[in-house]
Amino acid sequence: MKIIDHIKQAKGTLVSFEILPPLKGKGITAIYNHLDPLMEFKPAYINVTYHRSEHIFKKRSDGSFEKVVVRKRPGTEAICASIMNRYNVDTVPHLICGGFTVQDTEDALLTLSYLGIDNVLVLRGDAAKNETSFEPEPGGHKYAIELLRQVVNLNNGIYLEEDLKGTNGTKFCIGVAGYPEKHFEAPNMQTDLSYLKDKVDAGAEYIVTQMFFDNKKFFEFEKECRDAGITVPIIPGLKPVTSKKQLSIIPRTFYVDIPTELSNEILQCKDDACVEQVGTEWLLAQSKELKAAGVPVLHYYTLGKPNVVCNVVKQL
Ligand code: FAD
């Protein structure tokens, strides 16, 4: 079922979870162990992130280096299908521009549709680890909106090969990313919002946000979106802070602020068990306020900490 239909049919705020594919070598049971405790909360859907290949340099015995391509977390599409099979819950694979030619994208979309997956979250992807800024694959897309247009085309039966025009199309519900604290490359919020509106005008049916730790930023972003004429559902993305080192890792990785009140409380903690407690309480307070404000879905980035998310959702 499409995410937009879940939202339309819901009587209150839904819950959804986001997971990463396991590191190669860990096996699919790592995913089941992660999700099993979360399924009692009947999530409307589960998102599975996409991780492109990286180049690493391996030292040879003669001291020279060999450039090797590795993909640490493959399997997004198959994991989505396995989750649907095991739990009978909808899944949302993330689909990125990085590393894909338009032909690769078309093939991936067809694979997903054959697997019975009705949803995709369409993203640009970040720069590869060895790049200073995002470089599209030759013959691939530069911005999420270009990828989105390809999905919309395929939904309308428009394939890359013109002679297939008018044959069976796909039926994906398309989500896109939004940034309450601005995407780090955008010169200002207004420019970022105008590109977000373009994505919605081009066919995105909902927005899911980057994580944020201050609800005020979400509410301001939501208002700015509405003022800009964006009317689709906006789903807040939420993540628990569970260790002291995240106080610098999160801002560095995701370009979001940790509010002073939260960072002060965390800095007073003697160990990470205490940080986890503080992070749980913070996430619970954020979730309660967002739910009371009537957000369509609370989307949790579970990232290896399903127990914290369990504790929060249990108390909602
Ligand atoms: P875009 O919408 O293309 O925007 C990228 C930048 O370009 C922005 O600064 C925007 O303002 C600007 N821009 C947009 N359109 C134009 C245009 N036409 N001309 C000029 N500038 C433009 N990354 C992964 O690799 N895998 C994942 O699974 C993944 N999941 C994510 C899930 C969520 C909810 C979020 C918020 C992010 C996720 N990311 C993921 C990270 C994401 O790929 C990065 O944040 C990336 O840098 C931007 O992606 P985007 O889709 O927002 O890009």
Q: What is the pLDDT of residue 83?
A: 98
**Mapping DSSP to helix (H, G, I), strand (E, B) and coil, where does residue 191 land?**
helix
Q: What is the pLDDT of residue 230?
A: 98
Q: What is the pLDDT of residue 67?
A: 84
Cβ contacts of 106-110, under 8 Å, gap ≥ 24 = 106/150, 106/154, 106/159, 106/160, 108/77, 109/150, 109/151, 109/154, 109/170, 109/172, 110/170
CB-based pocket (< 6 A), ligand 1: 49-50, 94, 96, 123-126, 143-145, 177, 183, 185-186, 191-192, 195, 208, 210, 237
Cα distance between residue 121 and residue 114, in whole Å: 17
Angle at 300 between CA 297 and CA 305, to 5 degrees: 160
- Which residue puts its alpha carbon closest to atom 13 of ligand 1? 195
All residue ranges of the chain with pLDDT < 50 are none
Q: What is the pLDDT of residue 289?
A: 98
Q: What is the pLDDT of residue 275?
A: 97
Q: What is the pLDDT of residue 192?
A: 98
Ligand 1 centroid–CA 53 distance in Å is 17
Tell me how crowded residue 94 is: count the other CB atoms within 10 A of its CB: 20
Identify which of 165, 136, 163, 155 has the alpha carbon closest to the alpha carbon of residue 202: 155
Cα distance between residue 283 and residue 214, in whole Å: 10
Q: What is the pLDDT of residue 55?
A: 79
Q: What is the pLDDT of residue 159?
A: 97
Q: What is the best residue among 45, 183, 300 to mutate for testing ligand 1's pocket, by most ligand atoms within 8 Å of CB?
A: 183
Q: What is the pLDDT of residue 184?
A: 97
Q: What is the pLDDT of residue 170?
A: 97
| Residue in this structure with the two tokens 């394939």, named with its chain if needed | 159
Q: What is the pLDDT of residue 129?
A: 82
Q: What is the pLDDT of residue 209?
A: 98
Question: Mind listing the domains of the chain with CATH numbers?
Answer: 3-315 (3.20.20.220)
Q: What is the pLDDT of residue 65?
A: 87
Position 221, amino acid: F
Query: Residue 213: left (phi > 0), alpha (psi -120 to 50), or beta?
Result: alpha
Q: What is the pLDDT of residue 304?
A: 74
Q: Are strands 54-59 and 65-70 parallel, antiparallel or unpaired?
A: antiparallel
Instruction: Give start and end residues of each alpha helix (H) in the chain.
Output: 3-9, 29-35, 76-87, 102-114, 144-155, 189-201, 215-227, 246-254, 260-267, 272-292, 306-314
